[in-house]
Amino acid sequence: MSINIAIDGPAGAGKSTIAKSVAKEFGFIYVDTGALYRAIAYYVLAQGRDVNNAEAVEKLLQNIVPELKYINGEQRVFLNGEDVSDKIRTPEVSMGASEVSVIPRVRDFLFSLQQKIAAENNVVMDGRDIGTVVLPNADVKIYLTASAEERAKRRHKELTENGEQVSFEEVLEDVNKRDYADMHREIAPLRQAEDAVLCDTTNVDLHGAVDMLINIIIEKTGVKEGGCPRKA
């Protein structure tokens, strides 16, 4: 029987980076559900359509084939056979992902794919509604967060290192807008599941955050870390 770890939290909390490291420690598959919504948003924007127009987005779904592939142990996102892992990380696509994620048919479109992956594998899956909707019976649920300022700081660093010309103020505004959109959407709003463990990483570095989650998972499941121990 597969072991499912659900990690939810706001944008920029470090979910993807931390979840990826935790999955590697246990030898589990990492599933970045947000990347799937980003792929849809990217396709809609590439077609010159409005991500806020539910009818237009729904019509495009028949042309979209999103896939998660694991190449050399790393998750890569494919859209209609093309690796779009890097193209889906822009601020425009990030906001677009929040917009398309409130469309019921989009959520239904991806829901079965996410559950199928979890049913067939030991997974660490992150997103906005994993513990509340996608995997309500997950073995471990974690709500990962950090202050808006800290999340904007991390995101700004990531974007500038990738050559994006954007100010910290713009990134902070984007983070606050996305928080509001995610927490106030009608369909599966972002919230902490009642049985989720709250983990605030505002003043915790990556190594400390990974250790925090590993200890929670071991305590709740009894599963041991796999592979070689991490280097300090």
Q: What is the pLDDT of residues 74-89, one digit of tens each?
A: 788 999 999 999 999 8
pTM score = 0.78
pLDDT of residue 140: 98
The Cα-based distances of 93 to 38, 110, 157, 160 in angstroms read 6, 17, 18, 16
pLDDT of residue 11: 87
Query: Which residues does the chain have with pLDDT short of 70?
Result: 225-232
Q: 37: left (phi > 0), else alpha (psi -120 to 50), else beta?
A: alpha
The whole-angstrom separation of Cα 138 and Cα 19 is: 15
Return the structure tokens found at 84.
């779009």
